A and B are shown apart, each in its own frame.
Chain A
């Protein structure tokens, strides 16, 4: 069986790729995708910990199921808002979201 560390390396890379993407991407949809990477890395973590460290439980599995469902709801709302922005200014680049500053 593949050892647990391998999974954790994958999830950690996903997490920090997501953080990097969130901070550097200049397109709202790309930022949203980066955030999804973070949330998915969390799901991997929960499942891996549950499977390898506490095989008798189901807590981690359930947590990741709920996390998937809730992140889908959040994404739906986020995309709705992004579409609304597109309708208003025909653009979803972050540099155009500067109506309010300091």
Chain B
């Protein structure tokens, strides 16, 4: 087969990835050559660099589909949207990690932190834009391997190493399962290009088996319930800023990719994967909610909360429509601001109180740090879906997209679970506002980056739901599904 590859599109379609690579190279060189004074402004420098990167790529450009390398790399405007959202989330995580990175035992690995984080982001970009299973696999591993290093970054803290081991072994195991599934797809379809595979998949027994393997592999990454066992330990043990990155950015990217692959490649097996998702959604939402109730460590608590949120995201995937795609992107955006606000509070409290992350430690936080307590409360309200915060609207669109496709019972179960989740989110609020405490966490002033990030997140939580043009704007692009 003679294939002509047109390289002229590299700059127009791949500009996001290329500029991200440039950012990574600059961060690496800066870390290598900066003097003592340069290192002191490394953190603001990286935040400004990320801001420039986002500003250059926030508008999806060009506004038409494109492909590169014979269809291995696909560009669609809707991919540009989700990539911008992930980049904004990364910037917020960077803003929040300032005081952690200034600590004496981490300050010498600042450079590694930025380079590794941005490498995972690059991997997610390639995974999102993949048009071939090889590209998909490489992108996914590029997102996973540096992530394991990040989880284990607190080298002398045993919990971090333990979390890293649990993460990398589950990740290896899940990518093994996923590859096993892909290998049988190759055997039955004869190609690994998404566009060619779609027509050659007919849902025979071998393909159903490989679909199960493939789904199990991705389920590990998104931490859906039968495959969620690594999540709580990894989230608890990892450095808090890494946890927030892991819970939002990598989950959002994997969920988006899962939807694209299921709809575009496995369109002929829609009955099979909808059944699979149906079971997994009910399990994820319910089991994670029940476990979240009994958690006493806030990072662990948010781990279970993020598992159940992943279940809600899957409600958009199961619908498989452009409307579902729009509500998925919107949900990821809202979940990102709310969850990053919660993690931002946890991280800054942890840094200023000598590592306190227990729910009991937060008793009486409102008396000493009212602003942080209110921020946390609004973030949790948004996660729970209380109107008028953005979380209510994103949940509403997700439910509507699944309801339209006839999953009435499923939406009903999800609604009941929303009520249960309200209970445990309010447990934290109760601890902060009502429970008396003789020795609450002392009053402190967070650093500038954290304050900026929390204001950004709060603005997102309050404004994004009320400004309907956000949802409409995304829906303009999601025809690209």
Contact = CB atoms under 8 A, between A and B. Distances in A.
A1 interface: no
Contacts of A53: 187, 190
Contact of B184 (A45, A63, A70): A45
B158 A99 contact: yes
Interface string B162-175: 11111011011101
Given A28-B165, A85-B161, A100-B163, A35 B137 contact: no
A82 interface: yes
A100 B177 CA distance: 26
B192 A89 contact: no
B236 interface: yes
User: Which of A31, A32, A41, A102 has the largest count of B CB atoms less than 10 A from its CB?
Assistant: A102
B148 interface: yes
B220 to A, nearest CB: 13
A18 B176 contact: yes
Contact of B166 (A32, A46, A57, A97): A97
Nearest to A54: B190
Interface in B220-278: 232-233, 236-237
A100 B237 contact: yes
Nearest to B133: A63
Interface in A55-97: 57, 59-60, 62-63, 66-67, 70-71, 73-75, 77-78, 80-82, 84-85, 88-89, 97
B433 interface: no
B191 interface: yes
Nearest to B192: A59
Contact of B134 (A50, A62, A77): A62
Interface string B62-106: 000000000000000000000000000000000000000000000
Contacts of B236: 100
The interface residues of chain A, by DSSP majority, are classed as helix
A5 to B, nearest CB: 12
A53 B183 CA distance: 13
A78 to B, nearest CB: 5
Contact of B172 (A45, A74, A100): A74
Contacts of A85: 158, 161-162, 165
Contacts of A32: 169, 172
A68 to B, nearest CB: 11
Interface stretch (B13-21, B149-157, B281-289, B406-414): B149-157
Contacts of B134: 59, 62-63, 66
Interface in A15-59: 15, 18, 22, 28, 31-32, 35, 38-39, 41-42, 45-46, 49-50, 53-54, 57, 59
Contacts of A82: 165
B201 interface: no
A18 B173 CA distance: 9
B293 interface: no
A81 to B, nearest CB: 4
Interface centre among B137, B141, B168, B175, by most chain A C-beta atoms within 10 angstroms, is: B168
B49 interface: no
Interface residues of B, number: 45
Contact of B186 (A46, A66, A73, A100): A46
Interface residue SS majority, chain B = helix
Interface in B269-326: 291, 294, 300
B420 interface: no
B392 interface: no
A60 B188 CA distance: 12
A39 B176 contact: yes
Nearest to A81: B164
B10 interface: no
A84 B236 CA distance: 18
Contact of A59 (B165, B176, B191, B294): B191
A31 B169 contact: yes
B173 A59 contact: no
B30 interface: no
A63 B173 contact: no
Given A88-B161, A100-B159, A67 B179 contact: yes
Contact of A74 (B138, B165, B171, B177): B171
A35 B173 contact: yes
A100 B162 contact: yes
Contact of B169 (A35, A67, A88): A35
B194 interface: no
Interface of B: 133-134, 137-138, 141, 144-145, 148-149, 152, 155-156, 158-159, 161-166, 168-169, 171-173, 175-177, 179-180, 182-184, 186-187, 190-192, 232-233, 236-237, 291, 294, 300
- 9 closest residue pairs by CB, A with B: A38-B176, A45-B183, A49-B187, A42-B179, A81-B164, A35-B172, A78-B168, A84-B161, A88-B158
15 contacts: A31-B169, A39-B176, A59-B191, A67-B179, A70-B138, A73-B141, A77-B145, A78-B169, A81-B152, A81-B168, A82-B165, A84-B152, A85-B162, A97-B162, A99-B237
Given A77-B145, A88-B156, A102-B291, 14 more contacts: A15-B180, A49-B186, A57-B190, A67-B137, A67-B179, A73-B145, A74-B144, A77-B149, A77-B168, A81-B168, A85-B161, A88-B161, A89-B158, A100-B300
